[in-house]
Amino acid sequence: MNKLKPRQDLYLDKDFVSDLLFANDEDTATISWWQSIVKKGRKGTYSLFFSHFYRAYKERILARYADLYPRGLPNIRDDNFFLPEDATDWTLEQVPQLPQPFLGYFHYLPPHDPYLTRADFVDAYLNDGFDPLNKPNHLFSRGRSYDELAYTRRMYDEYCLLADEEFGRIYQQLEQNGILDNTILVLTSDHGEMFERGIEKHYHETLHQPVIKVPLLIFMPGQTKRQDVFHPTSAVDLMPTLLHLTGQSIPDWVEGQVLPPYTNQEPDPQRAVYAVEAKDSPKYGQINPASLMIIKDGYKLTYYTGWERQKNKKDPAIELYDIEADPEEMNNLAPEMTGLRNELMQEVVELAEQASQKAGAPE
């Protein structure tokens, strides 16, 4: 049984352009919609009348849910409104009906931007006393002030409370239904969010710890006690771990490793884990511009090259941190620890070049 739930099915209303009129040309339709109706384009490119009608239509939807979501409704692209609770309800309806065994992948937008939490979590962290370290602006700073970042961070934290509440609903219901008696449940994320160094959220070039350090929780059937793992792990470890736990063979091409609690093999203390930010690189060919990161033996190196914001500045830019002694990444060791810097840089650049060769244009 294969089942895919289109995300637009959970919108409070249909996306008029990309869903109803131009379902096969979403990108172009969305750009035109934003410029002509949502008024995100240059002055003079939007409709004189329809943009006002559309704004009134949006305001009616927002007013309908103002008590439940006083900061505004969660949405995609400013106008595809949805309720996170509806996604939870749909999941809880579907899972008991799935034939066993099954593999279910559920990707929820919250706590992704925009950070619009439910009324019961609004101001939950107001005056919470948290005073984050004021870090110097980065090469890729967007100029956000300390106060701006502190405010956005609080909005994010309060939105996380909503995501936590909805995951709790899923867990409790699956437990009550007995589904967790023979099901492995994994909670993880594709990225973190950053509120420091003049930068916010995740759509930027940096790979500091707030962006790459994501939650990974695995709930095993019958598990009653928590077990913390402190060895370096990566998202690529999930596939081999799940294959191993379900008695499947692991293909040779799999890059990850079975996670430490589920194998008798001792973790390799010299193992390196990697991350890459290359969304502006071409689909095929050389990975550039790129941010390449490697963590090995307690040290973390990030190599930045080719980005627009590096023009007229040092390129490549290299950062090296002892993240065990300096978890806040305040002391860049690259200028002084040149031997280790060059060794790690060579390893991560060679991997990127291998990946670029594999991504050559198709024949």
Rounded distance between C-alpha atoms, residue 79 and residue 29, angstroms = 14
Positive or negative CA dihedral for 200, 202, 207, 212? positive
Residue 50: predicted pLDDT: 64
Residue 148: predicted pLDDT: 97
Residue 28: predicted pLDDT: 59
Question: Which tokens hold the place of 236?
Answer: 């690529």
Hey, which CATH number is domain 83-230, 3.10.20.340, 3.40.720.10, 3.30.2130.30, 3.40.50.150? 3.40.720.10
Residue 268: predicted pLDDT: 83
Rounded distance between C-alpha atoms, residue 189 and residue 107, angstroms = 9
- The β-bridge partners of 11 are 82
Residue 39: predicted pLDDT: 54
Residue 270: predicted pLDDT: 84
- Which residue ranges does the chain devote to CATH 3.30.1120.10? 271-363
Rounded distance between C-alpha atoms, residue 88 and residue 171, angstroms = 10
Question: Which tokens hold the place of 14?
Answer: 């249909």
Question: Which tokens hold the place of 352?
Answer: 């990127």
- Which residue ranges does the chain devote to CATH 3.40.720.10? 83-230
Residue 142: predicted pLDDT: 94
- The β-bridge partners of 318 are 303
Residue 88: predicted pLDDT: 97
Question: Which tokens hold the place of 202?
Answer: 């995740």
Residue 232: predicted pLDDT: 86
Rounded distance between C-alpha atoms, residue 144 and residue 198, angstroms = 4
Element holding 164 (H helix, E strand): helix 146-176
Model pTM score: 0.88
- Positions in the chain short of pLDDT 50: none
Closest by alpha carbon to 170, among 191, 182, 187, 189?
Answer: 187
Rounded distance between C-alpha atoms, residue 237 and residue 207, angstroms = 19
How many angstroms from the chain centroid is the CA of residue 327? 21
| DSSP track, 273-290 | EEEEE-TTS-SSS---SE
Q: The domain at 271-363 falls in which architecture?
A: 2-Layer Sandwich (3.30)
Residue 208: predicted pLDDT: 97
